[in-house]
Structure 1
Amino acid sequence: MELRDYIRILHKSWALIVAATLAGLGVGALASILATPEYESRTQLYVSVRSDNSATGDLVQGTNFARQIVGSYVDVIKTSVVLDPVIEQLNLDMTSGELAQYVTTSSPLNTVLINISATSSDAEQAAQIANAVGASFKEVVQTKLEVTNADGKSPVQLTTTQKAVKATTPTSPNTKMNLALGLLVGLALGVGAAILRSVLDTRIHSLHDIEQITDKPLLGGIAFDPETKTRPLIVHADPRNPRAESFRSLRTNLQFLNVGGGTKSFVVTSAGPSEGKSTTSANLAISLAETGARVVLIEGDLRLPKVSEYMGIESGAGLTDVLIGKAELADVMHRWGRGQLYMLPAGRVPPNPSELLGSLAMDRVLEQLNGQFDYVLIDAPPALLVTDAAVVGKKTSGLIMVVASGSTKKQGFEAAVRTLETAGTNILGVIVTMLPTKGPDSYGYGSYGYGVEEVEPSKASKRKSAKGKRR
């Protein structure tokens, strides 16, 4: 993926990322609240070696010896020989191994200092343990580890340079650290989930998704309208609607597809069902007729016709009757609206739609209509389900693919394009329907409605019904 892909993913999934970040903060805060406060106290010992004279060489030798043995002393402190007396002295209910987990020892590099730290949920107890461990360690060193001289004194001397005191603030939990860690983890999980969701999402959402599959031009984008089912013919029902304007923009682009002349007959299809091909065909035909052009819309989906239902035309007789010689073309065509728009319904559902659409009779029908009309639009079945679109597409100027944003699968669209190209069908371009009006996948609908009061579809419907009542 490119940088713009990541930016689009972050833009699209910002709510998920914010939610994950807030959840991480919440977990960090909850961990800080539920955690038992821990206090730490530290004592420090200084290790030295006694010398019988104060010569410089003896002093240096004693200091070097002290540095050598300090490393061993650090490991001895957490053994049972040192900790058992502490447990007995403080009456602790634990073993030396358990107590060792709460004791930390260290020695700064190139020094003769030993730091002994003790941690406990009780601040007073932490100080007591640290001091008791220091005292016990002194006793062990001077009476057991180092052999005493003839005068009964150990050559190694340990001096307490700092006694452990009761801590006033807990060292754990570190609320700031927990919150920062929760924020970073939540943010990382949110971004990861957004990228993973995008990678696993095989649906087409934007123009960039289409460009990755085919090099065919984008002819137009149709905005998503939740009232499409109740108002499928938006160009006729609400001409000032932004969605109606998008069909006019599509009309303009369609006029440039055949600049060299010749017939202007187009097949409109999609990869699968419910992608908006029938409503696109009907609205495109209406918008073309608005320019004064003579337009005929053929209901070429002989299996599941929908256009005649949208346009309110009786489909008792139609294209199938003409193809089998049971009716004349002029007898089954219907004029729709005030312009030069004609509708040829599908007629009765035949048992062999593909054969009828590929027959010589269909060639004669198209030849006759191309001579009478400026535009011939054919609403064909989905290309992946049946071969009808590929069959009739070779008889026209070309085929237009309809893709539903957020619905059409990339694999399905790619398979449909490959199938049509293998069949020798000329794919002229792509129309994207159901595009969101906002967000990274939108298609620039903010410019529509210039000089027009923009009204939500639901409010527009209410106003129309109110006007009808006043009449």
Structure 2
Amino acid sequence: MSSLNAVPGEVDSGATALRDILGIVRDKWWIVLIVSLVCGVLGMAFSWIQQPVYKSTSTLYVSSAPSNDPASAYQGGLASQQRVASYVSLTTSDEVISNALEVSGVSLSQSEAMSAVSASAAPDTVLLSVSAVSGDPREASVLVNAVAAELVRYVAELESPNSGGPALAKLTVVSPGQVEDAPVSPQIVRNTFVSVMVGLILGLVLCLVLSRLDSSVRSEEAVRRITERPVLSSVPSYPGTSSGNVVDFSSGSTPVAESYRKLRANLSFIDIDNPPRLVLVTSAGASEGKTSTALNLAASIAESGKKVLLVDADLRRPTASRSSGVDIAVGLSNYLHGDGDILDFVQSSRTVGLSVLAAGSLPPNPSELLGSNRSGAGFQVLRDSFDMVVVDSPPVLPVADALVVGQWLDGVVFVVRSGSTGVTDAAAAIRQLDIASVDVLGVVINDVPASGTGGEYGYLADAGDREHS
């Protein structure tokens, strides 16, 4: 019934929180493992260095004076049960302990012997257990038997009537203390297990604390807290993530290739009637994978049979030009200087269907050139000449290039690197794009750990393995 009355929002938020926690543990499982192992080793080492403690136990039976009357015998049994509780306290009395030490010859002080001896009574019985612990198993046995014998004598003295006659109750040793070879402490296996469990809890807490302190973007949920723009794709980690390499789309449905195909498809669905044709790819800061995203987005669109142009508008550090295998000496900057028509500087790349407009020589005033009317006219020519134009630009926060060139384009694909891009930086960059009236089409999460890219990529990876086996 409670599940029927549950508020959907509360259920969804609880499920989301659980997924976030599981994601944190999945990403930082090694922290949990290391902390658990360290605590386990420390617990084991601490147990090993402890002095072994041995325990010996003697069991005594409490009985009342015999009687032929059944009612009296029953009352005597009840009285014996009541006496047991008193005898527990008598076990560690000064007289019992001092006499036991004198008789046994055990070299312990009065206080040490009192700490070593304990007694307990089983509920609803007339059995009394007396125990003694020591670092020497023989000493524990001698001490507990001496205490038991002295307790028998002392109880007989206390229970004997002043007028004479048999004692009202007596103690009988039914099980003397034995010399035990196995120590009761330390329990190495138990202590190690408990230490590992404590380490597991500490590791989980540490993961959650580190996650709270980590201000980087790691999930789609983090992106949703920054912007309402959709996540267009999550690109799993691969060797070329940071180097600007083009994925081999001919190798089949690999997780990386499919992530860029997903980006291509989602871009086309943003506006079915008027899909974006001039797309800027940028990021908040450097080394977040914007150039790799631009290259592979362009290559994935070319794979679909469209005529695609990749423009390297990073006139400061033109990585895309160098990664495309074209002549980087001439390109966009030459056109902006008035050296010819923009199509004169377009080159063919190694990827079928993909042309490249390199950055060209590096000018001293990139922002001014990219924001000029000549720049706008050139991009209009490119719109009319190609099915799709993908533009790589410098990051938003360090320089204004992306903001000024964005005015000539249909929108921006904003790239963040999982675990690297700060939430504050990403939010600030998107805010600057909004102020400049540059439409952010969506976000790409780059360099996502393979375990966090979703089940569909695992399915595709398995399928690819079967195809190549």
Query: What TM-score do you get using the length of structure 2 for normalisation?
Result: 0.78
Deviation at 1:155, TM superposition (A): 5.7
- Could you give the per-residue CA deviations for residues 186-229 of structure 1, whole angstroms, max 9, x where no partner exists? 44344444444444444334445434543423333434332556
Q: Which of residues 336, 342, 345 is equivalent to 1:330?
A: 342
1:43 aligns with 2:54: no
Contact 2:326/2:347 (<8 A) preserved: no
- Could you give the per-residue CA deviations for residues 403-425 of structure 1, whole angstroms, max 9, x where no partner exists? 22343233433333333334432
Distance 1:291 1:14, change over 3 A: closer
Q: Which of residues 293, 301, 323 is equivalent to 1:288?
A: 301
SS state at 2:451 partner: coil
SS state at 1:261 partner: coil
Q: Which residue of 2 aligns with 1:96?
A: 110
Q: Which residue of 2 aligns with 1:79?
A: 93
1:170 aligns with 2:185: no
Query: What TM-score do you get using the length of structure 1 for normalisation?
Result: 0.78
Deviation at 1:333, TM superposition (A): 1.7
Contact 1:32/1:178 (<8 A) preserved: yes
Q: Which residue of 2 aligns with 1:4?
A: 19
Deviation at 1:379, TM superposition (A): 1.3
- Could you give the per-residue CA deviations for residues 146-190 of structure 1, whole angstroms, max 9, x where no partner exists? 796144x79654322424231445361445644553453344344
Amino acid at match of 1:4: R
- Using the alignment, how far apart are the partners of 2:275 and 2:452 within structure 1? 39
Deviation at 1:97, TM superposition (A): 0.9
- Using the alignment, how far apart are the partners of 2:222 and 2:321 within structure 1? 33
- Using the alignment, how far apart are the partners of 2:153 and 2:80 within structure 1? 17
Contact 1:105/1:117 (<8 A) preserved: yes
Equivalent positions of 1:129-168 (< 5 A) are 129-141=143-155, 149-151=162-164, 157-168=169-180
Equivalent positions of 1:250-261 (< 5 A) are 250-261=263-274
Identity %: 30
Q: Which of residues 358, 364, 367 is equivalent to 1:350?
A: 364
SS state at 1:216 partner: coil
Q: Which residue of 2 aligns with 1:122?
A: 136
Amino acid at match of 1:334: V
Q: Which of residues 231, 237, 242 is equivalent to 1:224?
A: 237
Amino acid at match of 2:101: I
- Once the two structures are overlaid, the 10-residue window that deviates more, 216-225 or 169-178, is 169-178
Amino acid at match of 2:273: G
SS state at 1:447 partner: helix
Deviation at 1:381, TM superposition (A): 1.6
- Using the alignment, how far apart are the partners of 2:244 and 2:274 within structure 1? 35
Amino acid at match of 1:98: E
Q: Which of residues 194, 206, 221 is equivalent to 1:181?
A: 194
- Could you give the per-residue CA deviations for residues 94-113 of structure 1, whole angstroms, max 9, x where no partner exists? 21111111111123446655
Amino acid at match of 1:279: S
5+ residue gaps, structure 1, are 456-471
Distance 1:424 1:228, change over 3 A: closer
Amino acid at match of 2:267: L
- Using the alignment, how far apart are the partners of 1:56 and 1:340 within structure 2? 109
- Using the alignment, how far apart are the partners of 1:440 and 1:22 within structure 2? 25
- Using the alignment, how far apart are the partners of 1:453 and 1:77 within structure 2? 80
5+ residue gaps, structure 2, are 1-15
Amino acid at match of 2:140: A
Number of positions where the alignment pairs a residue of Structure 1 with one of Structure 2: 446
- Could you give the per-residue CA deviations for residues 417-465 of structure 1, whole angstroms, max 9, x where no partner exists? 33333443211122233234x423456165267599659xxxxxxxxxx
Amino acid at match of 1:274: S
Amino acid at match of 1:311: S
1:362 aligns with 2:378: no
Contact 1:315/1:346 (<8 A) preserved: yes
Contact 1:21/1:183 (<8 A) preserved: yes
Distance 1:25 1:406, change over 3 A: same
- Using the alignment, how far apart are the partners of 2:241 and 2:214 within structure 1? 25
Contact 2:316/2:362 (<8 A) preserved: no
Contact 2:62/2:80 (<8 A) preserved: no
- Using the alignment, how far apart are the partners of 2:344 and 2:112 within structure 1? 95
Distance 1:166 1:348, change over 3 A: same
Q: Which residue of 2 aligns with 1:375?
A: 388
Distance 1:239 1:58, change over 3 A: closer
Contact 1:277/1:379 (<8 A) preserved: yes
- Using the alignment, how far apart are the partners of 2:75 and 2:126 within structure 1? 13
1:240 aligns with 2:251: yes
- Using the alignment, how far apart are the partners of 2:211 and 2:184 within structure 1? 39
SS state at 1:367 partner: helix
Contact 2:326/2:358 (<8 A) preserved: no
- Using the alignment, how far apart are the partners of 2:95 and 2:151 within structure 1? 9
Query: RMSD over aligned Cα, in angstroms?
Result: 3.9
SS state at 2:280 partner: strand
Deviation at 1:320, TM superposition (A): 4.2
Amino acid at match of 1:333: F
Contact 1:127/1:166 (<8 A) preserved: yes
Deviation at 1:117, TM superposition (A): 1.5
1:428 aligns with 2:441: yes
